[in-house]
Structure 1
Amino acid sequence: MATSQRWKQICFQLRLKSTQLFIVAGSVLLAVLISLICIGITIRYEVEYEVVNLSDVDYWKDQVSPEQKFWYDKGIQELQQAMRIYSKQSKPKNVLILLVNGIDGRALAAARFPGENSTKEHAHFVWDQFPHLARIKNSCSYNSPCDMSSVSRALWSGVPLKAGIRNSTSQIMSRNCSRLDQFHSILRQAQLAGLRTGFVTNQRITGATGAALYANVAETSWECDGLMPLGSIEAGCEDVALQLISGETGQALNVVMGGGRQLLSAKVPIYTWDPLDELLCRARNGRNLLRDWRNLKLKLRPRKRFEVVQHEKELSSINATNLDYLMGVLANGDLTANSQAPSLKLMLNKTLEVLRRSTVRHLLIWEHFVRPEMNATRELRLLNETLSTLLGQKNTLTLVLLTNGNYLSPSRDVSGETDLTSTLDETFNQSELQLQLILQQMSSESLLFAQGPKSLLFYGVHEETYLAQALSYALGLNAFGNQL
């Protein structure tokens, strides 16, 4: 009797569990069935209206012309590319910066479209494909002519423009070089963080950009000792050229290449294809900084491999992959004045051979001046072709900065900058055509194109100081004890 009752209880429990199991299974099947119906409806809708993806949008369903369909197809390709853009937020291993002086947005637009009568096709520049774009203000140039060295210091040291001008004025009056503010440029910050560094220019290596990267001088005209007062020299003040050789930042540069031989040495060879530049500074008698640079490198312990080259044949023949340091001074004045100067491609290839190491990061700043008398379109096409060969390196942040401005030329140095001598009264009393020409020549905001890791940092409109500050953050530098 007890056994029979127990079996009845077991059967009753099993029946309840079977019912529950049936309910659960039925619910699952119903959910699957509903999902399949929804999927089927969705697929049918996409097939019917052809919206499976962006390229399937049937905009030509309204019978647009074949030409319009062609251009819409190209537009959709660009949209698809934009949707795939992704900038890695990891810290870049290397940084390549192309600084183009003398080109603004207006000149860039003119270079893209050569004109109706031109047989050349529209130019397609590689930086136009970079995913990020920022604008850097030219505040100094809009108010009045300003010293280009102050603008360069703001760009590369992150020091506000007015602060740099105010400090320079007080230092000039005191002539106390020991009181100079020691601004650490982005180049020096990179060196302190263990990066290999290089600076290449088609101008002289002691120009405004170079000075902002490795020198601190009381007066901007002190590019070499030939323009310094004797009293300042005796007081221990150093010109830009001397600081390139003896300063900490200059000595640590793995590569420096450009022109300016007459600013480094008193005795230089003079050729018809490489003349002296009478508008530039000349080194005083007895100076030979190329020899001094070589002697300093010989004293390094442990021993380092280095080369000094002064001609295209010397540069092309060296095996730069084995070098720790390379100095190339390839013209008496600016490199653009030497008709036998090495090609830009050769200079950059040798520079990168020195800088590239599998276990060490590097920072390369490449400056290119486009003078008013030069063909801007041809120069931009050259830069475009050269930069195209350098892209593709993994983990490399690439920046292209196009800038232009009305800069006050210090002392006798008028190369690479423009003088603004007219007053407001004289300006506005001119003809309408002359006014239009003046307005066209006014400086505009600099354009900064960015690609690679941390390129998302470069967006919107920023002050001149933002470039150095953003670069410092992107590279994870900690030169001032900040937690980046």
Structure 2
Amino acid sequence: MMGQQQPQKSAALVWVAVNLLLLVAAQQPELESQDRHHWWDLAQNELEAALNVRDNVNIAKNVILFLGDGMGITANTAGRIYKGQKKGMNGEEGYLTWERFPNAALLKTYNVDKQVPDSAATATAFLCGVKSNYYTLGVDSAVKYKDCNASLNTAHHLSSILQWAQEQGMDTGLVTTTRITHATPAALYAHTANRIWECDGNLKEEGAGCKDIADQLITENPGKNIKVIMGGGRRTLGAGLDPNPDNKICTRQDGRDLTQEWLKDKYHRGHTATYATTAEEMREVEKTDFFLGLFSDSHLPFMVERESNTSVPTLKEMTLKAIDLLKNPEGFFLLVEGGRIDHGLHGNSPYRFLEEILAMDDAVAAALEEVNLEDTLVLVTADHSHVLTINGYPDRGNDILGVTGYPSKEDGLNYTTLLFTSGPGFNYSIKNQTVTRLDPNDHDTRDLDYKSLAAVPRKSETHGGEDVAIWAAGPMAHLLHRTHEQHYVAHVMAHAAAVGPSAHKRLRKGYPAQHEASQASFFSVPPRAAYPQGTSITGASKTQIYPSINPGLQQVIAAREQQILKELGLMPVHRSEEIIYEDYEY
């Protein structure tokens, strides 16, 4: 394992492990034992752990970004409770793996033209470092929705963290439970005015002259240089295997099989390449220069729908295979997306989205066993939230998929703990000239197809506009420490790995010596006194940690920040045309 190749244990990893051990005693279902001493000791343990955290200023040899699509704070909390309850605990006292990372922050998710965002523009932000317009991918805000001509202007194209990593010799990969041409992964490599243009069959008149997303992935940089690609989406690449395809999925009209073009390109360039369509084929791969695994014509099935489908690998399996194939002395960048969390939420289906969160939790936990946090930055975040709420006053340990236990005094009916403000779960009727709703006590709220009640009827539930969380461990994780703009994440990854906009600021080649030189000078002083504002490397073994900036300079920076905020507030906002997406499969 990669982590075993490093003789020195990661301070951050040890911190995480210690905290997890401390929590074992705390995660007991007996409420009677949780007296004042329990809570006091729990807080003191947490405090002691926090006081022993030290910032890691190494250069990140590897960067792994886990993206829970739509996994807002409410969904994350519900996932935490669900995880504990599946283990026989109350649930509230537990943690998802990433919640024990030493650093966390909040991210503002709005788009340039939208208060509530979509996955294309948010992915562009955290992967390319620039906010953009709703439904656009890999282009700046000069490109409006469906403006094909503007998107062809390369001056408006954005490069991503994946491209920056490739330029520094790092291997790159993407893993997703959605189509590999879907919004989040597509922001790594595509430039388009409409995220729906996944294949040429969706271009139609408005996209005439533009290249579809699948074509860009296979034939252009940086897509064609991605070493590992895993997910769904055979049909958008012209390689569908289902004899009865879903008409909602984009279908190629040019007759091309892009999977074969992908293989030919690699062979012509003198590389080995493997294309797999089943989990078994993926498991058999031990070594290859390039790997493409497409395990469904469209998205991968929800975890709860895979009982009889062993041909589809889990997110954990794909993540571990990707890490294994991306071993490179120069390091790697890997995006892992739990994309179907979002789809479960759009359908008002708690059982589905909660199981998808736990699948990502398994993947993160497994990845931490394979890497060393001294040289690997691991981030876990969401692109946007959803209009989900945990409501009522249910008792401690109450089934998160159940009812609150306390009927509304207004209509005498109980209600589920998890509710949505919009979506297909809307179900009201008029009885005796009074509007009434379904009684959840008459239904199995744990049924796979049960839809939690929604206040506003919609075929697909909408995203939410509140901030999302990001958790970080590894080199430069401390740069995520307050409320940030979402596009800041790309800049943090770049700075940690010394690529892209930070390639000239930090010498990537000096990584091993930098670690040795900085260990004593940095970790021997309290973290606040030694907060690094930058790192200057003038040789392979020389490192200087600059002190905190003086109050006067800090005041100037703060004033400039206020000026920027003022200017942003006065910017004219483009009102995009209404986007009809009810029939589009997210």
TM, length-normalised to structure 1: 0.72
Tell me if 1:253 matches 2:253: no
Q: Whose helix fraction is larger, Structure 1's or Structure 2's? A: 1
Q: Distance in 2 between matches of 1:178 and 1:436?
A: 40
State which of 103, 126, 145 in structure 1 corresponds to 2:71. 103
Tell me if 1:240 matches 2:224: no
Quick one: structure 1 residues 336 and 472, their matched pair in 2 at CA, closer, same or farther if it must change by over 3 Å?
same
Q: Distance in 2 between matches of 1:289 and 1:419?
A: 41
SS of 2:382's equivalent in the other structure is strand
Quick one: structure 1 residues 317 and 117, their matched pair in 2 at CA, closer, same or farther if it must change by over 3 Å?
closer
How far off its partner does 1:165 sit?
6.6
State which of 291, 294, 299 in structure 2 corresponds to 1:329. 294
What is residue 8 of structure 1 aligned with on the other side? none
What is residue 497 of structure 2 aligned with on the other side? 475
SS of 1:365's equivalent in the other structure is strand
C-alpha contact (below 8 Å) 1:398/1:451 kept by paired residues: yes
Deviation per residue, 1:232-262 (Å, 9 max, x gap)? 55x4x31100011001111110101100011
Letter in 2 for 1:400: V
Of the structure 1 ranges 216-225 and 87-96, higher mean CA displacement relative to structure 2 is found in 216-225
Q: Distance in 2 between matches of 1:66 and 1:222?
A: 55
Q: Distance in 2 between matches of 1:402 and 1:421?
A: 20
Tell me if 1:229 matches 2:229: no
How far off its partner does 1:181 sit?
2.0
Which ranges in structure 2 are unaligned for 5 or more consecutive residues?
Answer: 1-32, 388-419, 425-434, 438-452, 507-586
Tell me if 1:73 matches 2:6: no
Deviation per residue, 1:177-227 (Å, 9 max, x gap)? 255622101111111111111000000000111221101124332111011
C-alpha contact (below 8 Å) 2:316/2:360 kept by paired residues: no
Letter in 2 for 1:309: A
State which of 290, 296, 314 in structure 1 corresponds to 2:265. 296
Deviation per residue, 1:371-429 (Å, 9 max, x gap)? 2225233332332223112115221111000343469xxxxxxxxxx99899xxxxxxx
How far off its partner does 1:111 sit?
2.7
Quick one: structure 1 residues 202 and 86, their matched pair in 2 at CA, closer, same or farther if it must change by over 3 Å?
same
What is residue 362 of structure 2 aligned with on the other side? 385
Tell me if 1:188 matches 2:188: no
Letter in 2 for 1:72: W
Of the structure 1 ranges 215-224 and 190-199, higher mean CA displacement relative to structure 2 is found in 215-224
Q: Distance in 2 between matches of 1:480 and 1:81?
A: 31
Counterparts of 1:124-139 in structure 2 under 5 Å?
Answer: 124-139=95-110
Letter in 1 for 2:473: Q
What is residue 396 of structure 1 aligned with on the other side? 376
Of the structure 1 ranges 435-444 and 180-189, higher mean CA displacement relative to structure 2 is found in 435-444
The structure number with the bigger radius of gyration is 1
C-alpha contact (below 8 Å) 1:264/1:283 kept by paired residues: yes
Q: Higher relative contact order by CA 8 Å / sep ≥ 6: 1 or 2?
A: 1
SS of 2:198's equivalent in the other structure is coil
Quick one: structure 1 residues 453 and 112, their matched pair in 2 at CA, closer, same or farther if it must change by over 3 Å?
same
Q: Distance in 1 between matches of 2:502 and 2:363?
A: 35
SS of 2:106's equivalent in the other structure is strand
Q: Distance in 1 between matches of 2:41 and 2:480?
A: 30
Quick one: structure 1 residues 256 and 175, their matched pair in 2 at CA, closer, same or farther if it must change by over 3 Å?
same
Question: For this pair of structures, how many residues does the alignment match?
Answer: 392
Deviation per residue, 1:336-360 (Å, 9 max, x gap)? 2684311222211211111013x22
SS of 2:192's equivalent in the other structure is coil
What is residue 92 of structure 1 aligned with on the other side? 60
Q: Distance in 2 between matches of 1:154 and 1:116?
A: 33
How far off its partner does 1:467 sit?
0.8
Q: Percent identity?
A: 25
C-alpha contact (below 8 Å) 2:176/2:337 kept by paired residues: yes
SS of 1:139's equivalent in the other structure is coil
Q: Distance in 2 between matches of 1:249 and 1:116?
A: 41
C-alpha contact (below 8 Å) 2:277/2:293 kept by paired residues: yes
Deviation per residue, 1:116-163 (Å, 9 max, x gap)? 998831232121111111111022399555543222212211112359
TM, length-normalised to structure 2: 0.60
Quick one: structure 1 residues 225 and 173, their matched pair in 2 at CA, closer, same or farther if it must change by over 3 Å?
closer
